[in-house]
Amino acid sequence: MAPGKKALGRIEGRNKGGRLHGGSGWPLLASPMILMVGLVFALPIGSLILLSFRSMTGPATVGDEITIENYRLFVTDPFYFKIILNTFWLGGLVTLCCVIIGYPVSYFLARTRSRWRGMLLFLIIAPLLVSAVVRNIGWFPILGNEGLVNWLLLKSGVISAPLPLISNFTGVVIGLVHALLPFMILTLTTVIQRIEPELEEAAANLGAGPLQRFKQVLLPLSLPGIVGGSLLVFTMAIAAYTTPVIMGGNRILVMATFIGQQFRTVLDYPTGATSAAILMLLGGMLSLLALRFGAQRTEMAR
């Protein structure tokens, strides 16, 4: 065998050996990450689920007996059903508002070639750079009874009395849309950028109007972004705690605020753990259904 071929064979053997050694050693390299994920996520969630199968024997006191009474009560009591309904109504309304507001903005960002595009992106993500508490309190001078919005409406004669825009359900929706809209816009912008503008031009050349182009070209191709952004916004909306407490004035009872009351005020840990477990279960099931629906519609569009 020629010397060159021998050297090439030795190099290939070393490469193969290195690949085998690297492939067999990746669990060891990933073990710190796996341990951290287990300590930070799996262990608390597991402890929470175990706590939901215990019974309350007194304030901040849990018995040793395993029971499913907490889940039975949660399923059969209309009070808990109303809380779940309010939570998912809030999440759905916030998601719908984010889609309606975010899609035109995302389309503009995806198609514009303006030098101000970077500044616009910064303005969109700017609310994420501010604390949730500061961001929500900043709405009070705007939406309060003597705030800017009511002052303008009263001065213009549109209304005769201030509109209740804060410390109620409307205020919570406004606060959550303001906080979660950047996630929807960024997700949709990424997807719309991948849609070739030539497809819209071809549809226009074939006589399709703006609405028809949106319905038959843009909407089916951007559906993965709509589904992804909606899942992100919806799951964050139903789990939000700070915004419902501040913007709702402790008057809006959703799952997050109810769980906080059980752990911090009532000191009924099993009921709070049961509520958290059911919220995780329902949120996960709805996410899986939405992903499956989005995948089916994407395949139909293709």
Domain ranges, ordered by start, for the chain: 78-301
The type of residue at 10 is R
pLDDT at site 189 = 93
The string of pLDDT tens digits covering residues 9-63 is: 554 554 544 444 545 677 788 888 888 878 888 888 888 889 889 888 888 788 8
pLDDT of 292 above 80: no
Instruction: Check: CB of residue 56 under 8 Å from CB of residue 62.
Output: yes
- Confidence at 91, pLDDT banded by 50, 70, 90: very high
**Tokens (6 digits) for 219:** 């909407």
The string of pLDDT tens digits covering residues 100-151 is: 999 999 999 998 888 888 888 899 998 888 889 999 999 999 999 888 999 9
Torsion of CA 194, 103, 201, 299, to 10 degrees: 60
pLDDT of 291 above 90: no
Question: Given this structure, which CATH class describes domain 78-301?
Answer: mainly alpha
CA-based nearest residue to 178, from 224, 240, 225: 240
pLDDT at site 20 = 44
**Mean pLDDT (the chain, rounded):** 85
pLDDT at site 298 = 58
pLDDT of 302 above 70: no
Which letter, b or e, does each residue of 121-153 get, where b requires 16 or more Cβ atoms within 10 Å of its Cβ?
eeebeeeeeeebeebbeebeeebbeebebbeee
Q: What are 58's strand-pairing partners?
A: 61
Name the least confident of 86-90, 102-106, 295-299.
295-299
Instruction: Check: CB of residue 179 under 8 Å from CB of residue 127.
Output: yes
Better-scored residue on pLDDT, 290 or 187:
187
- Confidence at 283, pLDDT banded by 50, 70, 90: confident
pLDDT at site 17 = 47
Instruction: Check: CB of residue 207 under 8 Å from CB of residue 97.
Output: no
The string of pLDDT tens digits covering residues 201-229 is: 888 888 888 888 888 888 888 988 898 89
pLDDT at site 138 = 92
Mean pLDDT of 166-182: 94
Which letter, b or e, does each residue of 290-302 get, where b requires 16 or more Cβ atoms within 10 Å of its Cβ?
beeebeebeeeee
The type of residue at 198 is E
